[in-house]
Chains A and B, each alone.
Chain A
């Protein structure tokens, strides 16, 4: 009797588990009605990626429909790989999207490290931000021009750690300017861009490469001097581009923040998300919010963003020999 009761209990438990599993199965939302979409931020709250998603989410939701909710979800870990992998492995029903650091997430793949994602396979929805890199020295430094940097001995770049976009950008600039033969020092390991720029002001090293928006406040305060900037047209008044100075191979050096969903997303769904993205980035309210949040909006729509990703792989592949760890132990 007891055995029969116990069997019954197991049966009930199994039935409940089965029903809950079915109930929890990912819904197939081609129409996105009443959906709750999460945008995975692969870093902790507080940084630039977090800021971009939090500013964008409400306006994206507004364009997706009256009952759609878009929630930022911080999934930090393993230098962003945990979050990237989560999006890559998610069900492609549009409920899980993510913001990606480019070339940050491209680099491990280029360097042959084992990662559980391939950015080229993601369903790209659009690019939010893009910032060019600028070459900086301290305002009190003897180095006053790109020529000075090229002629100087004992060049020391300050930057974040190995695997970061800033160190890769510094190594590419060193390679592009022909400094590699002089064995420049790469003083890596600072916690963030502001940290290594303060290190540059302090004199820990003598040159740095940083995204223009972070560097701008130190340039305006007179602490740092910009020597050259990436891009075809200079975004800083009076500062020449690398191309102007004869180094066109450094023109594409930038950092981008783009939004994508998992691979294999249904074409109709992807079209809907891309259309909503395009309307959101054109929404004057969002443009105002983005300005307040100091986002460097350079939107690119879905298809074009996907092409950009593919191109960035070949760009960084070309500099692969420059990108080994300079401080490997």
Chain B
């Protein structure tokens, strides 16, 4: 194992390759922080640039982008309550309240550090797991995928502060997720004759609407800057160092977030949004003194951000071993690999060990470099929270709508973003959880498709969900997720009496 690792490190250390890596990081940070652009767009845009490169150089450039995107995305999540990429959505829950309390510096420091460390932990896990990667991917058939989605939805509902509102938001998310063509049953659902809706709605314009636009509408109502902290001295951005320290003071949250991220990343087709949300709800449910979650608990930033970068390491397993992309950016990355004559599949792990280590190292350095860059820039970035709303609102809305359009060059996506902007605003005013809607939306397709496939496999006998090992384990975890808050309540009651 050492020899291919050294070959990879040696190659990566060459001047021109470092330049490619830094270019990737810069592009990744910018594309990650602008809602609607994201890693997939960045990779697609830089794809033609790689034609004249060595395959390994193309991998380094793409590794730079993938390692940096999610860190970039956390910045807008924390400062503007607008996730730069879908997996950053969970970071909003505690990151934004911290910004409003004048603690943006702490949140950014924690996010950058947790992302970097999470990325490193997952890559270590990846290297250890590579020899048995194939077996892990094979554990997840349709019944296990279905149970995983059930586990996701359950933790989501349990984590909602108001159960009824959480359930309503989840139902809305499922409803919007079911719009489009069902390719098993072969029917169109809720498309009201509009061709655009045939493929369902994309997650990106939905996020742009629910967060960026809705948030700006709300800011217009309240006026003034985002940070509502009244004391002038706290307007200076401080606390980045405290943010870094907070990550190491909460090692348990960091490790659990990274482990959940890596594991979910390994399951093809689930993606980072679920990973970061599961990490968040795990932290919110199992941490001591958890009453401040949702109102600006730093652990609520650490857990999803660690998971968010950790999932990239995990997602490489299905992408490289089976050519099954775990996310949109992995799908385009797969195209880059194939264009450069590297064909992902079971043989790749054996035949091109050095190439894989190159990618792992590129991701590792990209994570660390972008984390460091964000820490250096945190002071300046956090000033956005103090910009007056009358300047901020037009800028954010313009960038958001252009981002929605840029996704598929489609005006339909702009309409979707505007619709969800209005819905998001209503949800803010009526205090309904928007994140719950997002996660249910993401899980709807996974849950439905795998349920139908399982029922076809089982020939209608649903009891067989419990005779499949992986799905049984996930079912037990679901029951545990349901019982933890009940147990906690009992414990708390016991302690007070």
User: Which chain A residues lie closer than 8 Å to B346 at the CB level?
Assistant: 217-218, 221, 223
Query: How far does the alpha carbon of A44 sit from the alpha carbon of B345 in the complex, in Å?
Result: 21
> Is A50 interfacial (CB-CB < 8 Å)?
yes
CB of A80, distance to nearest CB on chain B (Å): 10
Establish whether residues B184 and A162, one from each chain, have CB atoms under 8 Å apart when the complex forms. Answer: yes
> Is A54 interfacial (CB-CB < 8 Å)?
yes
B335-376 interface code vs A (CB 8 A; 1 in, 0 out): 100111101011100000000000000000000000000000
> Is A327 interfacial (CB-CB < 8 Å)?
yes
> Is B252 interfacial (CB-CB < 8 Å)?
no
Closest B residue by C-beta to A220: B347
Establish whether residues B453 and A187, one from each chain, have CB atoms under 8 Å apart when the complex forms. Answer: yes
Establish whether residues B408 and A189, one from each chain, have CB atoms under 8 Å apart when the complex forms. Answer: no
Establish whether residues A46 and B181, one from each chain, have CB atoms under 8 Å apart when the complex forms. Answer: no
Establish whether residues B331 and A46, one from each chain, have CB atoms under 8 Å apart when the complex forms. Answer: yes
Q: Decide: A194 near B141, CB < 8 A? Known: A46-B334, A292-B340, A325-B185.
A: no
CB of A311, distance to nearest CB on chain B (Å): 26
Q: Decide: A194 near B184, CB < 8 A? Known: A54-B47, A77-B196, A217-B347.
A: no
Q: Decide: A327 near B335, CB < 8 A? Known: A156-B457, A204-B142.
A: no
> Is A238 interfacial (CB-CB < 8 Å)?
no
Within 8 Å by CB of B269, from A74, A82, A185, A191, lies: A191
User: Which chain B residues lie closer than 8 Å to A45 at the CB level?
Assistant: 40, 44, 47, 331-332, 335
Query: How far does the alpha carbon of A46 sit from the alpha carbon of B328 in the complex, in Å?
Result: 9
B10-47 interface code vs A (CB 8 A; 1 in, 0 out): 00000000000000000000000000000010001001
CB of A285, distance to nearest CB on chain B (Å): 12
Query: How far does the alpha carbon of A187 sit from the alpha carbon of B456 in the complex, in Å?
Result: 7
B163-191 interface code vs A (CB 8 A; 1 in, 0 out): 00000000000000000010111110000
Establish whether residues A51 and B345, one from each chain, have CB atoms under 8 Å apart when the complex forms. Answer: no
Closest B residue by C-beta to A192: B324
Query: How far does the alpha carbon of A217 sit from the alpha carbon of B137 in the complex, in Å?
Result: 17
Establish whether residues A163 and B322, one from each chain, have CB atoms under 8 Å apart when the complex forms. Answer: no
Within 8 Å by CB of B186, from A44, A202, A203, A325, lies: A325
Query: How far does the alpha carbon of A161 sit from the alpha carbon of B323 in the complex, in Å?
Result: 19
> Is B138 interfacial (CB-CB < 8 Å)?
yes
Count residues of B near A (Cβ-Cβ below 8 Å).
47
User: Which chain B residues lie closer than 8 Å to A163 at the CB level?
Assistant: 183, 186
> Is A118 interfacial (CB-CB < 8 Å)?
no
Establish whether residues A46 and B325, one from each chain, have CB atoms under 8 Å apart when the complex forms. Answer: yes
Closest A residue by C-beta to B196: A77
User: Which chain A residues lie closer than 8 Å to B383 at the CB level?
Assistant: none
> Is A136 interfacial (CB-CB < 8 Å)?
no
> Is B242 interfacial (CB-CB < 8 Å)?
no
> Is B5 interfacial (CB-CB < 8 Å)?
no
Q: Decide: A198 near B137, CB < 8 A? Known: A44-B331, A189-B452.
A: yes
Within 8 Å by CB of B345, from A50, A203, A218, lies: A218
> Is B388 interfacial (CB-CB < 8 Å)?
no
User: Which chain B residues lie closer than 8 Å to A22 at the CB level?
Assistant: none
CB of B449, distance to nearest CB on chain A (Å): 5
Establish whether residues B195 and A294, one from each chain, have CB atoms under 8 Å apart when the complex forms. Answer: no
> Is B421 interfacial (CB-CB < 8 Å)?
no
For the complex, would chain A's binding face be called helix, strand, loop or mixed by DSSP majority?
Answer: mixed
CB of B461, distance to nearest CB on chain A (Å): 13
> Is A248 interfacial (CB-CB < 8 Å)?
no
> Is B419 interfacial (CB-CB < 8 Å)?
no
> Is B198 interfacial (CB-CB < 8 Å)?
yes
Query: How far does the alpha carbon of A185 sit from the alpha carbon of B453 in the complex, in Å?
Result: 11
Q: Decide: A327 near B184, CB < 8 A? Known: A51-B338, A55-B339, A293-B339.
A: yes
Query: How far does the alpha carbon of A54 sit from the alpha carbon of B338 in the complex, in Å?
Result: 12
Within 8 Å by CB of B324, from A55, A195, A218, lies: A195
Q: Decide: A198 near B184, CB < 8 A? Known: A46-B332, A78-B198, A221-B347.
A: no
Closest A residue by C-beta to B412: A77
Establish whether residues B324 and A78, one from each chain, have CB atoms under 8 Å apart when the complex forms. Answer: no
Query: How far does the alpha carbon of A163 sit from the alpha carbon of B343 in the complex, in Å?
Result: 27
Establish whether residues B338 and A217, one from each chain, have CB atoms under 8 Å apart when the complex forms. Answer: no
Establish whether residues A78 and B47, one from each chain, have CB atoms under 8 Å apart when the complex forms. Answer: no
Query: How far does the alpha carbon of A290 sit from the alpha carbon of B185 in the complex, in Å?
Result: 37
Within 8 Å by CB of A329, from B185, B345, B449, lies: B185
- Which of B138, B183, B324 counts the most chain A CB atoms within 10 A? B183
User: Which chain A residues lie closer than 8 Å to B87 at the CB level?
Assistant: none
User: Which chain B residues lie closer than 8 Å to A186 at the CB level?
Assistant: 456
> Is A7 interfacial (CB-CB < 8 Å)?
no
B379-422 interface code vs A (CB 8 A; 1 in, 0 out): 00000000000000000000000000000101000000000000
> Is A328 interfacial (CB-CB < 8 Å)?
yes
- Which of B47, B142, B346, B459 counts the most chain A CB atoms within 10 A? B346
User: Which chain A residues lie closer than 8 Å to B44 at the CB level?
Assistant: 45
Closest A residue by C-beta to B51: A58
Establish whether residues A161 and B183, one from each chain, have CB atoms under 8 Å apart when the complex forms. Answer: yes
CB of B286, distance to nearest CB on chain A (Å): 32
B258-278 interface code vs A (CB 8 A; 1 in, 0 out): 000000000011000000000
Query: How far does the alpha carbon of A192 sit from the alpha carbon of B332 in the complex, in Å?
Result: 14
Closest A residue by C-beta to B332: A46
> Is A47 interfacial (CB-CB < 8 Å)?
yes
Query: How far does the alpha carbon of A221 sit from the alpha carbon of B325 in the complex, in Å?
Result: 19
Establish whether residues B183 and A162, one from each chain, have CB atoms under 8 Å apart when the complex forms. Answer: yes
User: Which chain A residues lie closer than 8 Å to B142 at the CB level?
Assistant: 199, 204
Closest B residue by C-beta to A185: B456
Closest B residue by C-beta to A222: B346
Query: How far does the alpha carbon of A160 sit from the alpha carbon of B325 in the complex, in Å?
Result: 16
- 11 more A-B contacts (CB under 8 A) besides A51-B339, A77-B408? A77-B195, A79-B199, A160-B183, A162-B185, A163-B183, A185-B459, A187-B453, A195-B269, A202-B138, A204-B453, A328-B185
Q: List 28 A-B contacts (CB under 8 A).
A: A46-B325, A46-B335, A47-B335, A77-B195, A77-B196, A78-B195, A81-B198, A156-B457, A162-B184, A162-B185, A185-B456, A185-B457, A189-B184, A189-B449, A199-B141, A199-B142, A204-B141, A204-B142, A217-B323, A217-B343, A217-B346, A292-B339, A292-B340, A293-B339, A327-B184, A327-B185, A328-B185, A329-B187
Top 5 A-B residue pairs of the complex, sorted by shortest distance between their CB atoms: A161-B183, A217-B345, A221-B346, A46-B335, A162-B186
